[in-house]
Amino acid sequence: MKAYTIQKYSKKELLQLADVPVLEVKDNDVLVEIHASGLNLLDSKIKTGEFKLILPYKLPLVLGHDVAGVVAKVGKNVKKFKVGDEVYSRPADFRIGTLAEFIAIDEKDIALKPKNLTMEQAASIPLVALTVWQALIEKADLKKGQKVFIQAGSGGVGTIAIQLAKHLGATVAATASEKSFPMLKELGADVLIDYKSQDFESILKDYDVVLNSQDAKTLEKSLRILKHGGKLISISGPPTADFAKAIGAPWFVKIILSLISSGVRKKASKLGVHYSFLFMRADGAQLSQISSLIESGALKPVLDKIFPFEQTNDALAYVESGRAKGKVVVKVK
């Protein structure tokens, strides 16, 4: 099958289109013929080696974390899916590889594709929606009437986070460029801040939750807009020892991450707020719940551009540019 691979960690080298063997289908696996693959900044970060300490992949590696497609084969223990089902997934770490014609995924990480979405729309959903679900529902336990601040509101995570927070009954503030304001108002944002001309720290106060996706300076300012007991969940780091423990990392990684995050954890503690790092995980059951919200109209995908498979490098470059409003998807089939 055709697949886009990296041979070594590099910022400059392009993904290589190569012929690779179709993966073995284990007893609990579903082989998916890929119709579309969503791209994420995570793909770029893995390509450059930024995450090699916590995700030590063997190279060469097929990139890609989001998939929508059709079941081509099932393992002997698979009960939930059959050949011909339309499905979508964020495959588990160390089993990624959606920039290809086929992928084998454990059935526990798959859900039926929402009936009201195209393959390209569905491929835009899994990673960002699971990130938002795990941040706002699992970690933050966001409740009706609470206030949440979402950074980079027009990005892939931000557009879904605004919608889910609004569905949960929260008041939603978000940063974006002014030209994105009409779209974000339509998604449900209540307070919009132009990051180019306004300082969110002077506008927001006593917030219950912050979803942080930006740099260290923004993170520090975000801690100060939280009420006492508020929660900051960061998807851009720094990772913590708790995260290292959760992924079963070696002892020395726990020590390194504890040192890396000690500054922000101390600042949070002084302010009486809680800091945690989230690196989302694959979860087919949660994805099924997300499908229900999509089919009911509570959540909708926001796509910026769809690239053909042969332009995958252009698609990744566009993601890296930071200009995308919503998600970037590669049409494979």
* Domain containing residue 321: CATH number: 3.90.180.10
Q: Find out whether 25 and 72 touch, Cβ atoms under 8 Å.
A: no
One domain, residues 214 and 320: no
Number of structural domains (the chain) is 2
Give 281's contacts (C-beta < 8 A, 6+ positions apart): 92, 93, 130, 134
Closest CA to 260 of 53, 49, 45: 53
Q: Which domain holds residue 264?
A: 128-277
d(CA 102, CA 35): 9
pLDDT at 307: 98
Record the pTM: 0.97
Q: Find out whether 166 and 187 touch, Cβ atoms under 8 Å.
A: yes
pLDDT at 53: 86
One domain, residues 167 and 95: no
pLDDT in tens, the chain (333 residues): 999 999 999 999 999 999 999 899 999 999 999 999 999 999 999 999 999 988 999 999 999 999 999 999 999 999 999 999 999 999 999 999 999 999 999 999 999 999 999 999 999 999 999 999 999 999 999 999 999 999 999 999 999 999 999 999 999 999 999 999 999 999 999 999 999 999 999 999 999 999 999 999 999 999 999 999 999 999 998 999 999 898 888 999 999 999 999 999 999 999 999 999 999 999 999 999 999 999 999 999 999 999 999 999 999 999 999 889 999 999 999
One domain, residues 157 and 262: yes
Query: Does residue 150 sit within a domain?
Result: yes
Give Cα 121 distance to the centre of its chain: 15
Q: Find out whether 248 and 228 touch, Cβ atoms under 8 Å.
A: no
Which CATH number goes with the domain that contains 160? 3.40.50.720
d(CA 237, CA 54): 12
